[in-house]
Structure 1
Amino acid sequence: MSAIKDFWEGFKSDPMNGLVTMQSQRPIWAVMIGGAMFAILSAILYFQLFMAMDPCELCVYIRFSQCCIVIAGLIILIDPRNHILKGLGLLLAWYGVIQGFMWSYELMGIHNAAHMVVDESMDFFAAAGDAAGAACSTEPRFPLNLPLDEWLPFEFMPTGGCGEDDWTFLGGGMAHWCMVIYSVFGLAAAPLTAAWLVQLFKRK
C-alpha cells in the first residue's frame, strides 16, 4: 500500500513523469491484457455458450481486434523498457482499438436498421439499403488473409446474422457497448502513448 501511495503522491506532483514511469513497468500492460481478455471471454463464455448467441461476421472481426490488443500487451510485457517492442506493441494495440471501434460502429448501424420501428416519416428502404451494403458473410476475410475460421472455428467462424441480437444493457446493445469498451481502451492508451513518446524523444 505504501508503494501505491508513494506513486500517487508523485503522480499528483508531476503527472507526465508518473505516466512515463507507469508505461515503463509491467502492471499497466497486464491490466490492458486482462481487460481485452475479459471482453473476449465474455463474448465466448457468456454470449455464445450461455445465451446461445451465434457470432456474426462482424462479431468475429471484433474478437480479432481484441486479440490484437492482447497480443500487443504480451509484446510489451516482454520488456516494457525496450522501445522497439513498445513501438510494435502500441502500433498493434492502436490498430485493434481503431479497427475494433469501426467494426462495432458498422455493426451498430446494421443492428439499428434491423430493429427500426417503421413509420411514415422514415425512409426505410434507404436505411435498409445501407445495412444491406455491409451484410454478413459466412466466409470471413481476416487481415493478412489469416484463416482464423479454419484454425479456431468455434471462436472465429461466423454462424449468426449481423444485427440479429436483442440483448441490451442500460439501453445499449452489444455493438454500442463494444464502442464504449474501445473508447475506454483508447482513452487509457492515449496518455500512455504520449508518455512513451516523451520518454523516447528525451533520449535523443
Structure 2
Amino acid sequence: MLNKLKLWIADLKANPLPTLEATQEARTVWVVMVAACVFLLGSAMGYFQVFLEMDPCENCVYIRFSQFCILIAGVIILVNPKHNVLKLLGLVLAWYGIIYGLDKAIILSGQHVASHAADTGLDLFQSGQGANACSLEPTFPLGLPLHEWLPFEFAPSGICGEDDWSLFGLNMAQYCIISYAVFIICALPLTIAFITKTIKNLKSAS
C-alpha cells in the first residue's frame, strides 16, 4: 500500500492532470471519501453523543446531514466511477454537502465564540456574534423530517456553541471547518480532472 502511494505521488508530480484523471476513475479515492464520512459520523454519534454525552445542537445535525450527503455521493460514484452520469450526480451531491456543511460549521464556530464570550472577557457585542439562537425544530433541505425519521442522528437536543470540548486548542466547530477544507482540497482537483477527461472524450467522439 505504501509503495503504491509513493508511485502515485511520483506519477502526480510527473504528470499531474493525467494522473488525476485516472485517479477519479478508480474506486480507491472514493472509498477513502466514504470512509472519512463514516469516521466523522461515527465520531459524532459514538464518541461525542454516546461516550461524552454531548447532545447534538441544531447546527450539529445540519453538519451530520451534510456528511451523509457526501457519504451517499461517494457510494453513488462507487457503483461505477467511469459512468459519467453517476459521477456527475455524485459530485454535485458531494459539493452540495461540502458547501452546506461548511456554512453550518462556520455558523457554529461563531456561536461557540458567542457562548464563551464571557470566558475571554468579551460581551456578545464585542464578540461580534450576537445571541447564539438555536432551535429544537430543525429545518432540513426539501422539508425532509429527518429528526422524526432518525431522531438519534438528526433530532437536536443541545444548545449551539455550549460544548467545552477541545483538542490542541481547537473546538469541534473548528475541526469541522478543517474537515470541509480537506474535502475541498481533495474534491476540487478530482472534479477538474473529471471535467477535463469528459471534454476530451466528447472531442474524440466528435
TM-score when normalising by structure 1: 0.92
Residue number in structure 1 paired with 2:176: 178
Residue number in structure 1 paired with 2:125: 126
Pick one of 186, 189, 192 that aligns with 2:190.
Answer: 192
Amino acid aligned to 2:125: A
Equivalences, count: 201
Residue number in structure 2 paired with 1:83: 84
> By how many angstroms is 1:135 displaced?
1.2
Pick one of 148, 152, 158 that aligns with 1:160.
Answer: 158
8 Å contact 2:114–2:124 — kept in the other structure? no
8 Å contact 1:114–1:164 — kept in the other structure? yes
> By how many angstroms is 1:7 displaced?
4.0
> 1:92 and 2:96 equivalent?
no
Q: Identify which range, 21-30 or 9-18, moves more after superposition.
A: 9-18
Residue number in structure 2 paired with 1:42: 43
Q: How has the CA–CA distance of structure 1 residues 4 and 138 changed in structure 2, closer, same or farther, with 3 Å as cutoff?
A: closer
Q: How has the CA–CA distance of structure 1 residues 4 and 103 changed in structure 2, closer, same or farther, with 3 Å as cutoff?
A: closer
Q: How has the CA–CA distance of structure 1 residues 153 and 119 changed in structure 2, closer, same or farther, with 3 Å as cutoff?
A: closer
RMSD: 1.9
Q: Give secondary structure in 1 for the equivalent of 2:166.
A: coil
Q: Aligned partners of 1:125 and 1:193: how far apart in 2?
A: 41
8 Å contact 1:113–1:127 — kept in the other structure? no
Q: Aligned partners of 1:162 and 1:91: how far apart in 2?
A: 29
Amino acid aligned to 2:49: Q
Q: Aligned partners of 2:5 and 2:117: how far apart in 1?
A: 49
Q: Aligned partners of 1:3 and 1:178: how far apart in 2?
A: 29
Instruction: Mark the runs of 5 or more structure 2 residues left unpaired by the alignment.
Output: none
Q: Aligned partners of 1:150 and 1:137: how far apart in 2?
A: 15
> 1:20 and 2:18 equivalent?
no
Q: Aligned partners of 2:37 and 2:43: how far apart in 1?
A: 10
Q: How has the CA–CA distance of structure 1 residues 44 and 199 changed in structure 2, closer, same or farther, with 3 Å as cutoff?
A: same
Q: How has the CA–CA distance of structure 1 residues 83 and 153 changed in structure 2, closer, same or farther, with 3 Å as cutoff?
A: same
Residue number in structure 2 paired with 1:169: 167
> By how many angstroms is 1:131 displaced?
3.5
Q: Aligned partners of 1:137 and 1:174: how far apart in 2?
A: 19
Q: How has the CA–CA distance of structure 1 residues 87 and 171 changed in structure 2, closer, same or farther, with 3 Å as cutoff?
A: same
8 Å contact 2:113–2:129 — kept in the other structure? no
8 Å contact 1:65–1:97 — kept in the other structure? yes
Q: Aligned partners of 2:20 and 2:142: how far apart in 1?
A: 34
Q: Aligned partners of 1:147 and 1:172: how far apart in 2?
A: 32
8 Å contact 1:56–1:160 — kept in the other structure? yes
Instruction: Mark the runs of 5 or more structure 1 residues left unpaired by the alignment.
Output: none
| Fraction of identical pairs, as percent | 48
8 Å contact 2:38–2:71 — kept in the other structure? yes
Q: Aligned partners of 1:12 and 1:109: how far apart in 2?
A: 39
CA offsets 1:168-189 (integer angstroms, 9 cap, x no match):
0111110000000000011000
Amino acid aligned to 1:67: F
Pick one of 135, 138, 149 that aligns with 2:136.
Answer: 138
